[in-house]
Amino acid sequence: MEQQPSPKMTTAARRITLIGDIFADLTLALPYYPREGGDVTANALAWTSGGTGVNAAVTYAMLQCDVRLLGRIGTDPAAAVALRAAHHAAIDMGGIQIDTLHPTGTCVVELTDGGRRTLLAHRGANMFYTLDAISYQALNSSDMLHISAYTLLGGPQRTAMLRAIALVEQQQIPIVLDLATGPTALQRDTIFQLLPRLSLLMMN
């Protein structure tokens, strides 16, 4: 069977639905990175919103797109931190699910004076995102679906992402995949299989 071309991106793609991770980032500015078992005092500390889903959603909002973010958070204090940037950007978060069993995704970002960044992440509730009625409504009314490669790493979130791709593909809605180093290394075969179905591949 002949492969159908992927839908073309247009400047009219203003209603964008994103499926991606939602994180609370704890950034520590370090004078140096200690050895395993060592000790170092941070020069500065900051709590910020993070995760590929939130970061991309905020960027699209800056381009004056109508953005809907689909994801999952916990009921812990980190949830408010994780969504702070999305709130400020007036992003539609009606599709964000609340998980009472798993914590909000949290990432410790260790930044040394030399400019090197080390990430220590716990994906938490992100991995348990599933498609629900709100998700289907958002997908069906979208001009574009943006997905993070981190959603490929496993759990119900991976299943939801693959189903979302199949759904929007039937409707000829463009699909954007946002790559990252970790999932690219771990899910190489799956990413190659998805390539013909994509309208745009982004290098994070």
d(CA 146, CA 19): 6
pLDDT over 50 (residue 1):
no
Shortest CA distance to 176 belongs to which of 152, 155, 149, 150?
149
The percent of residues above 70 in pLDDT, for the chain, comes to 93
- 156-184 CB burial, b ≥16 within 10 A, e <16: ebbebbeebbebbbeeebbbbbbbbeebe
pTM comes to: 0.87
pLDDT, tens only, 54-108: 999 999 999 999 999 999 999 999 999 999 999 999 999 999 999 999 999 999 9
d(CA 187, CA 195): 13
Within its chain, how far is the Cα of 169 from the centroid?
20
pLDDT, tens only, 136-172: 999 999 999 999 999 999 999 999 999 999 999 999 9
CATH superfamily placement of domain 15-33+42-203: Ribokinase (3.40.1190.20)
